[in-house]
Structure 1
Amino acid sequence: MITRDRPQMSLEAFEAIARTAARHDVVLEFVGGELGVRPAPDGDRAQILAWLQRACARSRPDLWLFVRQGLQLLPPHRAGAARPDGALAPAEHFAGQGEWADSRGVLLVAEVTSFDRRADERDRVGRPRAYAESGIPIHLLVDRDTDTVTVHSEPADGRYRTIRSYDYGERVELPGLGVMLDTEELKDYSR
């Protein structure tokens, strides 16, 4: 049985497989000790990430949204690797770190749900837990199944203590970042 303490494979084995898969139309990750496969991004996901980048840059030009930057997740005894849709960090944060960078110093990870059968478990349960365990202050989930934006914040003891969901069209504050998101535009990218 695969558990967080008994992973499916080593992090090194995952990295070797991921290098090969990068040439195909999938994204591989290693979260919670389990190999995960995500479909390649679609155009609406790219638009949503561009919207988020623009919104953050207006309020905080010192922060950049890095798309698909690989992150080594913490703590070390439960090492994993994720490639979030976006990672918000200071402008030069990832310089010199390589494909799988240290997640310390990342202020927010953003995920946009896929339209696949594993999205519920992966995007709504596994990722928030892994990001909270790594101490990433905010996990932002743009949920295209429910037309909502969920802000997970205040990581402690392997979970986010505060979780707030907003319907598309509402204003969303990113706690501690001084960024306010107007989510009206997201209605243009829903199905």
Structure 2
Amino acid sequence: MTAMAHEPLTQEEVLLEGFLALDTPEGFRAELVEGEIVVAPPPDGDHEDYIELIVQQVYRRSRTDMQFSGNKGLKLGKAEGCPKDHVIPDGTFALRSLRLYRGADPWMPCQGVSMVLEVTSTRPKADREVKRRCYARGGVPLYLLVDRDTPEVTLLSDPREDEYRQHCTVPFGKPLALPEPFAFDLDTADFL
């Protein structure tokens, strides 16, 4: 038997292998975003409070039964010359009937995810621009961004290629209409 020569790994494959082998400290999140490995520290309490306020409204007011995860990472489309993005949103919502969050793999495809949620923290520009492109590339229908710096909430919809075509922004304190499958006005009064 002759040994077969193996093709050398591409730079994309080496980066992805290195990323998937990372052992981040507890509470930290490692993501592979547009060819860059990003490690984020644990969020602060205000960050978590915004997420909880939104999750509670979705569970109580959504027209459709939804599931939420703040831990599952998404494997999304790839930017030119980069491996597939591996992003951990602050939260994802999916129809409960799909049971998307099952299984041991910490990374899941984005098909079936109804909405991603991000609350700005240590890298707000990444949430506003880089992650927006990643989620649009992955075809995630809705992206809800709570921007603590501005202070505004933005709902992005109608993803095409690297961008969302529809944007609706309201200041904290004003309601924001969430379309189907949610079909309710998100109350942001408690965000003040």
Answer yes or no: same fold by TM over 0.5: yes
Map of 1:140 onto structure 2 = 144
Contact 1:8 1:34 in 2 (8 A): no
Q: For this pair of structures, how many residues does the alignment match? A: 176
| Identity percentage of aligned residues | 34
CA distance, structure 2, for counterparts of residue 182 and residue 14 of structure 1: 38
Letter in 1 for 2:69: F
Letter in 2 for 1:110: L
TM-superposition CA deviations, 1:99-139 (whole Å, max 9, x none): 1111111110000000x3x322x111100000000000011
- The DSSP-based 3-state class of the residue aligned with 1:41 is coil
Contact 2:16 2:83 in 1 (8 A): no
Q: Which runs of 5+ in 1 are unaligned?
A: 1-5
1:86 aligns with 2:52: no
The structure 1 residue matched to 2:130, chosen from 126, 134, 138, is 126
When the two chains are superposed, the root-mean-square deviation of aligned CA atoms in Å is 2.0
Q: Which runs of 5+ in 2 are unaligned?
A: 1-10
With the length of structure 2 as denominator, give the TM-score of the two structures.
0.84
The structure 1 residue matched to 2:168, chosen from 158, 164, 179, is 164
**Larger displacement relative to structure 2 (134-143 or 85-94):** 85-94
TM-superposition CA deviations, 1:20-74 (whole Å, max 9, x none): 10x3442111111111122211111111111111111112351022113211112
Q: 1:9 to 1:186 in 2, by over 3 A?
A: farther
CA distance, structure 1, for counterparts of residue 36 and residue 171 of structure 2: 31
1:45 aligns with 2:47: yes
CA distance, structure 2, for counterparts of residue 166 and residue 8 of structure 1: 41
Q: 1:48 to 1:85 in 2, by over 3 A?
A: same
CA distance, structure 2, for counterparts of residue 152 and residue 39 of structure 1: 26
Contact 2:114 2:141 in 1 (8 A): yes
The structure 1 residue matched to 2:69, chosen from 66, 69, 88, is 66
